[in-house]
Each structure stands twice: as structure tokens, then as C-alpha cells.
Amino acid sequence: MFHFLQKKKLLSDADNNQIVEAIQATEQRTSGEIRVYIESRNPLVSTLERAQAIFFQLQMQQTRQRNAVLVYVAVKDKEVAIFGDEGIHQQVGSEFWNQQVAQMIHLFKENGLANGITQCVTEVGNVLVEKFPFMEGTDKNELPDSIVFGK
């Protein structure tokens, strides 16, 4: 009856669950944290600046080891960025993030949005596991695993 008030979902429930499960599976093996932020359009000019602004808005810089990573996607603008905090960035450098963005764009074209994000979460997670392994008894989930949806 009030269909005009309903906002179209950017992901299906199944796609949402797939991505969240990938985040949870990764974070069981690392002290690092991964968040995914998806919105329809990027209100800023620079995709990386938008990702950085969201990173700080979500207070992701407050992880103990500064090893949080944000995967940012603006669906209608077809923009992607990955922003890693200083702890992980010092370990991997800009080239790693650039490779992950290129791979995610390729996967979007081949396998769709959810599969591309899931694969990126897994790849970034593998590096987090290597650089920041899970420490039994001291690690805790510092950030929510759910996807954040913008406008």
C-alpha cells in the first residue's frame, strides 16, 4: 500500500548474511577488525576520502592494535575503496590496498557485488591473520560485524 515509502535494499538478505559470515569467519582467526559500508552514492568527490571519513565516523581507529579495515562501496557510482588503520597499513602498504580494490572490481563484474565483497573480506582477512593472529584469551571483537548501510 505504501510502496513509495520503501527504500530498495542494496543487498538481499542472503547476500548480507554471506558477507557477515565471511567477516565473522575471518575475525575468529585474527585480532584485526573488518567492517563493510555500502551506500548508493558517494556524496564526496574522492572515494578514498569518503572511506576515510566513514572509518573515523565509525570510530574504527579505536581498536587496540590499530588494525581495523573498512571496505567501502558506493553501488550506483560504481566506486570502491579500502581504508586500513595505521597498524595494518604499515604492514602492507598502499600497493596491497590498490590490488584488493582492483580485484574486487573485477569480481563485481564476474560474480556480482556480494561475492566480490566476500572475496575481498577473505583476502584482507588472510593478511590480517598473518600480521595480527588471534590471541586466545586476550582478543575480543572490538567492532560490530554487521554491514553498515548509508543512503
| pLDDT score at 105 | 92
Contacts of 148 (CB under 8 A, 6+ apart): 35, 36, 37, 38, 54, 58
| Gap between the Cα atoms of 74 and 53, Å rounded | 14
| Gap between the Cα atoms of 117 and 107, Å rounded | 8
Show the cell assigned to 46.
574522492
Over residues 2-17, the pLDDT tens digits come to 444 445 678 899 999 9
Residue count of the chain, please give it. Answer: 151
b/e map of 117-126 (b: 16 or more CB within 10 Å)?
A: bbbbbebbbe
Over residues 22-55, the pLDDT tens digits come to 999 999 999 999 999 999 999 988 999 999 999 9
56 and 83 in contact (C-beta within 8 Å)?
no
Domains and CATH numbers, the chain: 9-149 (3.10.310.50)
pLDDT at 111 over 50: yes
Q: What angle do CA 105, 110, 116 make, to 5 degrees?
A: 50
| pLDDT score at 85 | 97
Contacts of 52 (CB under 8 A, 6+ apart): 83
| Gap between the Cα atoms of 63 and 86, Å rounded | 11
